[in-house]
Amino acid sequence: MITKILITGHFSAGKTQLISTLSRDILSTEVKISLEEEKKKETTTVAMDYGKIKTSGFYVHLFGTPGQERFDFMLEILGKDHDGAVVVVDSADLLNIKKSVRFIDFLRKQGKPFIVACNKQDKDSCMNPREIAILLNLPEEVVFPLIAYDKHSCLYIIDKIISHISSSRKAA
Ligand SMILES: Nc1nc2c(ncn2[C@@H]2O[C@H](COP(=O)(O)OP(=O)(O)O)[C@@H](O)[C@H]2O)c(=O)[nH]1
Ligand SMILES: [Mg+2]
């Protein structure tokens, strides 16, 4: 069984990091960015990230979107016919968490299963998944911790979205 998973969320949440930690053969469209954004990092995704992994018998295709509103046309394109999505948030950045609401709204409209991955849990200043679930008004069952630098942590997130997809299909 082949599964297509959308990796989305606001700029600098860690979407590209998640895909590149999981997949050795990542296709990425990173370019140098604007002066304002450069305060956060040097490059950004302008079209998409793509990676493929095999886990628990599934081939999983990961499609990462850009995070800024000016690239929303890519979200519309990549957001078509996926099986489920992971919204990555920067748990150490309240504004980033709040900006993830528009991705959640987008996914809700599509009626597809999604989870939230609370990235950068290695940072002292981060909020925990429970706090983030409350802030985003989501059930705790769909909000999970992530350290995108760590492969096991990334695989845990993929396991969670796959089981969420499976249970949504059973319920349908
Ligand atoms: N401390 C910490 N930094 C992270 C983690 N994941 C990503 N980053 C950093 O956060 C920044 C944004 O990551 P990136 O994957 O480019 O974000 P994207 O815009 O969502 O694709 C980069 O500087 C990463 O090195 C993490 O788990 N912990
Ligand atoms: Mg990126």
Q: Work out which ligand 1 atom sits closest to the CA atom of 153.
A: 27
State whether the beta carbon of 122 lies less than 6 angstroms from ligand 1: yes
In this structure, are strands 27-32 and 43-55 parallel, antiparallel, or unpaired? Answer: antiparallel
Give the structural domain span for 45. 2-171
Measured CA angle at 100 (ends 44, 33), to 5 deg: 15
Pocket mutation for ligand 1, best pick of 6, 15, 17, 71 (most atoms within 8 Å of C-beta): 17
Nearest CA to ligand 1 atom 8: 14
CA 85–ligand 2 middle distance (angstroms): 15
Rounded Cα distance between 81 and 128, Å, is 31
Residue 105 contacts residue 75 (beta carbons within 8 Å): no
Give dist(CA 13, CA 147) in Å, integer: 11
CATH code, 59: 3.40.50.300
d(CA 116, CA 161) in angstroms, rounded, equals 9
What are the pLDDT tens digits along the chain (172 aa)?
778 999 999 999 999 999 999 987 777 777 777 767 766 776 777 667 899 998 877 789 999 987 777 677 778 877 788 999 999 999 999 999 999 999 999 999 989 999 999 999 999 999 999 999 999 999 999 999 999 999 999 999 999 999 999 888 888 7
pTM of the model: 0.92
**How many domains, in total, are found in the chain?**
1
